[in-house]
Amino acid sequence: MSTAASFEIPYVQLLNEEAKPANDLPEFARDAEIMKKLYKDMHFLRAMDTKAISMQRIGRMRTYPGALGQEAVSVGAGSCLTKDDVLVPYYRGTGTMIQKGVEPHEILLYWGGDERGSDFKNPNCKEDFPIAVPIATQILHAAGVASAMKLRGQKGRAVLTEIGEGGTSEGEFYEGINVAGAWNLPMVCVINNNHWAISVRPDEQTSCETFAQKGIAAGIEVVQVDGNDVIAVREVVGKALDKARNGGGPTLVEAVTYRLCDHTTADDASRYHDQETHDKAWENEPLKRLKAYMVNAGLATEEDLDALQAMCKGEVDKEVEIYFDYLENKPQKPEAMFDYLYETLPEKTVPQREEVIRRAK
C-alpha cells in the first residue's frame, strides 16, 4: 500500500500559557499602541457582556450570548478587517462586529429585541451581514459575498465569517467551505472551538482530532491556533485575509479556546460542565496572558493596563444609555413589521398594517 495523499494540521501559538513569547513574534506584537488597543478592546467586550447579562437578569435585555474567555478569538480576528472587507458574523461574534465598526449599542439593540440593531449606521459596515442565528447558514452567505467579489474582479477585499465548533457538524458548513475551495474564494472562516455546543462536547460532535482538518476535505488551507493567544489569532487571521485579498483563496482557522460563560443567558452550564476543567480553563484565559506579556515586554505598565480596563465600564455605560434611549424614547413604530417585508407592501396586507396602527393608538 502506498499513500494517495497526506496532510498536516499546523498549530500556531505565539505566547505560551506562561505568556512566554515565541522567538519570531510578529512586528505588531512589539507595537505598544496596537497591543494596548487589543487589550482594551478585549476588556471592553468582557465589560459589555457582563453588563448585558446583568441587564438580562433584571429584565432589561433579552437572551444574550456572552463570549467570556473567548475574547481573543473575536477581537483578534476582527482586528484584521478593513472597511473594504465584509463581515458575516454569527451570534458569538460581538467582538468581531465591534472591531469592524458596528456600534456596540446596535448589538445591544439586536439582543434587546429590536430589528434596528442590524441596520448598521457605520458606513464601513453597510455591506456586513446581520448576526446569523440559524447555525452555519452564514458560511454560505460568506461564500456568496466572496463569489460576488470574485466574479466582479474586485481585488483587495475579503470576507470573514465565524462559526462555533458545534456548527461545523452542519451540512451548510461543509457546503460553504467546499465551494470556497472549488472556486478559490476570498474567504476566511474562523471556528471558535470553545469546547461546548451548548452542552455537547467536541468528542460527542465528531471523531476528528481537530476541527481545522474538516477543511482538508474541502481542499483549502487550514490552521489551528491557540484561541487564548490574541497575538497568534491576529497573526494567523491577518495572514489568511491578506492571502484572500490577493487572490490566494480561502482559509479555515480553528481557534481553540474555552467557554467560561453559559451558552446564553437562557443556559446554565453548571448542569453539564466539569468544575475542575472549568476552573483550570480560568487559569488559561486570554487577558491574563496578554497582560503578563505586555508588562514583561515593557509595552505597558500594570497601572497603564488597569487604567485601560477601568475605562471600559464607563464606555459600556454610554452604549447602554444609547440602547435605553432607543427603547424608551425612540421605540420602533408597530407598523415597522410591515414596512420592510417587501419594497412595496402587497395590497392584501395593507389593511393588516392599518389595523396594527389603529390598535396601537
Partner 1 sequence: MALVTLIEAVTMALAHEMEKDTDVVVMGEDVGKNGGVFRATEGLQKKFGEERVIDTPLAEAMIAGLSVGMASQGMRPVPEIQFMGFVFPAVNQIMTAVARMRNRTRGRLTMPMTIRMPYGGGIHAPEHHSESTEALFAHIPGLKVVIPSNPSRAYGLLLAAMRDPDPVLFLEPKRIYRAVKHEVEDNGEAYPLETCFVDQEGDDVTLISWGAMMYETLQAAEKLAAEGINAEVIDVATVAPMDMTTIFESVRKTGRVVIVQEAPKAGAVGSEIAAEIAEHELLSLIAPIERVSGWDTVMPYAKLEGQYMPTVERILDGVKKVMAFK
Q: Which residues are catalytic?
A: 259, 263, 272
Nearer to partner 1, 11 or 174 (CB): 174
Binding mask 131-150 for partner 1 (x = CB under 8 A): --xx--x-xxxxxxxxxxx-
Residues of span 216-255 touching partner 1 by CB under 8 A: none
Residue of the chain from 266, 307, 310, 341 that contacts partner 1 (CB under 8 A): 341
Tell me if 323 contacts partner 1 by CB under 8 A. no
Tell me if 167 contacts partner 1 by CB under 8 A. no
Residue of the chain from 270, 342, 358, 359 that contacts partner 1 (CB under 8 A): 342
Tell me if 189 contacts partner 1 by CB under 8 A. no
Binding mask 98-117 for partner 1 (x = CB under 8 A): -----------------xx-
Residue of the chain from 331, 349, 354, 357 that contacts partner 1 (CB under 8 A): 349
Nearer to partner 1, 50 or 178 (CB): 178
Least distance between partner 1 and beta carbon 346 (Å): 3
Residue of the chain from 10, 32, 63, 126 that contacts partner 1 (CB under 8 A): 126
Tell me if 186 contacts partner 1 by CB under 8 A. no
Cα Rg of the chain (Å, integer): 21
Q: Which residues bind partner 1 (CB under 8 A)?
A: 88, 115-116, 118-120, 126-127, 129-130, 133-134, 137, 139-149, 151-152, 159, 171-172, 175-176, 178-179, 182, 336-337, 339-343, 346-349
